[in-house]
Amino acid sequence: MWSTRASSERALHAGAFAISASFMVVFPLLPDLQERAGISTAQLGWIAASGFVAALVAQTLIAPHADRGRERWVINGAIVMMALSTVVYAVGDSIHWFIAGRIGAGLAYGAFTPAAIGLIVRRWPEAPGRHIGRLQAIELAGMALGPLLAVAGKVWLGVLPTLWVAGALTLLAGVPAFASREVRSTAGLGRVGQAADTPHHSLASGFGLLRHRSVIAAALVMTAFFVPIGAYDALFPRFLVDLGSSDWLVGAALMAFAIPSMFLATWAGRTVDRLGPFRAASLGGAANVAVILTYGFVRVPMVIVVIGLFESGGQTLVGAAGAAAMGWAVPGRRAATAQGLGEATATTAGAAVAFLAAPLYAAGGPALLFVTTAVLTAGPLALGVRLARTARPVEEPVPVATVADDPLLAASR
């Protein structure tokens, strides 16, 4: 019989796969959707930035509800929202529709990830990195499969039917999460037999976490993970198409990052547990910055695909380290709120980069875009690692009860 914690993990994995695969389906189709709707390359930055802003709202206002006994509503609602956002691209044919679709995707991702990681931090305080790595491995599996399905669907079905099918498959993939009874709040669980009667912190009080050095340090590491995503989200498919890449090569380039990361994510989580989140982030970030710089000067699409294979290792390590760093800083009853605040800080930086990416690309081409991205990645990472040297956790972890010794958990089965 599966334990409650194992059942919760399976539900989280189902949600992560559904959301990430659906999100990535849109990327290889963007050039075709852009042409169909008559959207300029500069306007792509507005679409990408709208998604980041929506994620910011979800991270600060929706995700904290997972600390207030509503984890299941947050997680399942995010899956449904992602499915709807994918379908919006098929329905609409203007920039307004595309912005609406990206807003829906931003809300889904922004709500799901902090809630899921907050649950992990509370339920696996002994090895959060390993379980965060597992979640990210499943998420990356969805990121790898999404572009492949998009390209195959475009060839066999066409662009618009592919989006409709992707929306339906998102809901289908999320069935284990919908059906699970085990994704329930641990925020109120104390020691064995203790009822969930501890008062919850208000949503507004969560912003006070940013006063703590440990939270700021973790948020800066998370920012170093999101800055490259902001640049890629806005222009990477267009960058590849401008170099003469075919549809299949665009999909391959996206998969070149996702597939190795999928296999490296569990290793990254274990490495974070072994080295500590900030040391692991510094190692992964150094490698990541070097790879980002090379994008600015390489003009052969196939070489870019190969470079993506190497970038995946560093970026995966930084991603796991950032989440684990925030879990170290706030491991208790405000874990999801802290994860949301950290991601909100990082998302703000990512949105700024997404907004600036198109003008930078238009003004100086790939060199200016990716050199700037590398600098903006290295700065927050170095500052976060430095601040962490004198930082301390904000609160104590929540003791985790088991099914065998807690009647509250036993009754939920």
Average pLDDT over residues 253-267: 79
Higher model confidence: residue 300 or residue 72? 300
- In SS3 terms, the chain reads as CCCHHHHHHHHHHHHHHHHHHHHHHHHHHHHHHHHHHCCCHHHHHHHHHHHHHHHHHHHHHHHHHHHHCCHHHHHHHHHHHHHHHHHHHHHCCCHHHHHHHHHHHHHHHHHHHHHHHHHHHHHCCCCHHHHHHHHHHHHHHHHHHHHHHHHHHHHHCCHHHHHHHHHHHHHHHCHHHHHCCCCCCCCCCCCCCCCCCCCCCCCHHHHHHHHCHHHHHHHHHHHHHHHHHHHHHHHHHHHHHHCCCCHHHHHHHHHHHHHHHHHHHHHHHHHHHHHCHHHHHHHHHHHHHHHHHHHCCCCCHHHHHHHHHHHHHHHHHHHHHHHHHHHHHCCCCCHHHHHHHHHHHHHHHHHHHHHHHHHHHHHHHHHHHHHHHHHHHHHHHHHHHHHHCCCCCCCCCCCCCCCCCCHHHHHCC
3-state secondary structure of 29: helix
pLDDT for residue 81: 93
**Mean pLDDT (whole number) for 286-313:** 88
Q: Taking 90 as the threshold, does the pLDDT of residue 221 lie above it?
A: yes
Q: Which has more pLDDT, 404 or 167?
A: 167
pLDDT grade, residue 197 (50/70/90)? very low
| Domain presence at residue 21 | yes
Whether residue 413 has pLDDT greater than 70: no
**Tell me, what's the pLDDT at 406?**
38
Q: Is residue 249, in this structure, part of any structural domain at all?
A: yes
pTM, 2 dp? 0.78
Span 361-373, mean pLDDT?
A: 93
Please tell me the total count of domains within the chain. Answer: 1
Average pLDDT of the segment spanning 349-360: 87
Q: Is the pLDDT of residue 68 over 70?
A: yes
Q: Do the domain assignments include residue 203?
A: no
pLDDT tier, 184 (very low <50, low <70, confident <90, very high otherwise): low
What local confidence, expressed as pLDDT, does residue 205 receive?
A: 61
Residue linked to tokens 């339920």: 123
Residue 204 lies in a domain: no
> Residue 222 domain-assigned?
yes
CATH number at residue 16: 1.20.1250.20
Query: How many C-beta atoms lie closer than 10 Å to residue 404's C-beta?
Result: 9
Above 80 in pLDDT, residue 6? no
The pLDDT value recorded for residue 399 is 62
Per-residue pLDDT band for 277 (boundaries 50, 70, 90) equals very high
Of the pLDDT bands very low, low, confident and very high (cuts 50, 70, 90), residue 14 is confident
Whether 15 shows a pLDDT value over 80: the answer reads yes
pLDDT the model gives residue 12: 85
Closest CA relative to residue 344, chosen from 184, 200, 215: 215
403 within some domain: yes
In which band, very low, low, confident or very high, does the pLDDT at 230 lie, cut at 50, 70 and 90?
A: confident
Where is pLDDT greater, at 125 or 56? 56
Q: Which residue matches tokens 């959707």?
A: 33
Pick from 27-41, 190-204, 332-346: least confident? 190-204
Of 71 and 317, which is predicted with more confidence? 317
For residues 10 and 180, the answer to whether their CB atoms sit within 8 Å is yes
Which structural domain range is residue 57 located in?
4-193+211-411
Residue 79: band (very low, low, confident or very high) from pLDDT cuts 50, 70, 90: very high
pLDDT band for 190, please (50, 70, 90 cuts): very low
Least confident piece of the model among 55-64, 70-79, 233-242, 255-264: 255-264
What is the pLDDT of the chain when averaged over all its residues? 82
For residue 10, being part of any structural domain is answered with yes
**For the residues 6-33, what does the mean pLDDT come to?**
83
The share of the chain scoring above pLDDT 70, in percent, equals 86
